[in-house]
Chains A and B, each alone.
Chain A
């Protein structure tokens, strides 16, 4: 089953009545459903691709009827649109998944956590909850996630819901041990929950992925593909490239640049990308047109990622800032000639030294830039026109 099949996606949220007519209700599910999840191989679609069954099992074992389910629609990755589109168009699929989780994990609360800027997604989810019958509706509260990159990270979401601060915390304790209000908590991305809704129905499978295509592609935006489709095929379905690309960013800002010839042949699924040392992250695939400068692009993204450090851990706060500054000096032509070496050394030193994965994601991205754009980084001169802009 495709998540976005049914009425035109642009037509707004599917009503509960239409959703039930199209798909039928969710059958009764017991704890055995975790086995179904495991056999499906469903992995989290928020970015980390963590096995969903493992997460559910960990919460189920500790729940004692006290667990909390956090529906994660923070979607802080700037280029990603798939989560808010899904909430806006198919809110009941997401809610089905959330209530299935609540039932299987014997949770007493469901918290819908949506990025504060995603207004239409929030409106659609609020309306959808109001359409649900009372025992379900009574479980739900809403919370607005701050528009920060790390706000959707599990520990940051828990921190925000407990104390109003959306910064990561030191783990352990993990959310499944001590989450919202100290209760075992499942934090699950909205796309993952929609796939759960699909899996729970007879003959259901979690065989598709939601992508956000960005940059030099004819139809930028959300595209649903079957797992295993190549990036080249996904681009073809989106109307092809608008101009010859210099590189493809696989996995968004925590992802990696890949040479186009290599990228076209990559199969889009977590396992095969992992074998290539890549990750799908939250599903963003970006095309950098050959007319854009990869060094300036990299510097801009590094400045963004540095500014999105939650400034709690020294290696992340100072390290990402230093990396972004060195990239910027190269892009502006003001480097002393040693910045490339500094970038290599700092990138290796910063990795793995934050309480969350923010610095790791940033240096994975940077390392791929230094590799794929080695020539451009070595010979970059300032673009006077761009600088004066």
Chain B
């Protein structure tokens, strides 16, 4: 079984540019002020590449992938 991953946002860095929601609308939508709301739970296998892209393309590098079963 491969490790489950999830997306996390550094809320202080995030500027609400919204690129992530354009790349990955399956998992990310924007609130009324343009800041991302992430779907709960691990990233489905078939969306991993796009999630990786969302992390890399964030203009302020506010997004990261983390192991889902991490403590705390």
Q: Looking at chain B, what size class is its interface with the partner chain?
A: 10 to 19
Contact residues, B3-33 vs A (CB, 8 A): 10-16, 31-33
Size category of the A interface is 10 to 19
In the assembled complex, which residues on chain A have CB atoms less than 8 Å from the CB atom of B37?
349, 353
**Chain A: CB-nearest residue to B11:** A313
Interface string of A348-363 (1 = CB under 8 A from B): 0110011100000000
> With a CB–CB cut-off of 8 A, which chain A residues contact B41?
none
List of A residues within 8 angstroms of B34 by Cβ: 314
- Minimum CB distance partner of B29 in chain A: A349
Contacts of B15 in A (CB 8 A): 314
Residues of B within 8 A of A346 (CB): 31-32
B-chain residues with CB within 8 Å of residue A315 when the two chains form the complex: 11, 31, 33, 35
Is A319 engaged at the interface, CB distance under 8 Å to the other chain?
yes
Task: Report yes or no: B12 in contact with A170, Cβ–Cβ below 8 A.
Answer: yes
Known contacts A349-B37, A353-B37, A312 near B12 by CB under 8 Å = yes
**CB of A318 within 8 Å of the partner chain:** yes
Tell me how far the C-beta of A98 lies from the nearest C-beta in chain B, rounded to whole angstroms. 27
Q: Quote the shortest CB–CB distance from B37 to chain A (angstroms).
A: 6
State whether A355 and B10 are in contact (beta carbons under 8 Å apart), knowing that A314-B16, A349-B37 are contacts in the complex: yes
User: Who on chain A is nearest to B14 by CB?
Assistant: A314
Decide yes or no whether A207 CB sits under 8 A from chain B. no
A349 to B16, CA, bound (A): 15
7 A-B interface contacts by CB (under 8 A) = A168-B12, A312-B11, A313-B12, A314-B11, A314-B14, A316-B11, A349-B31
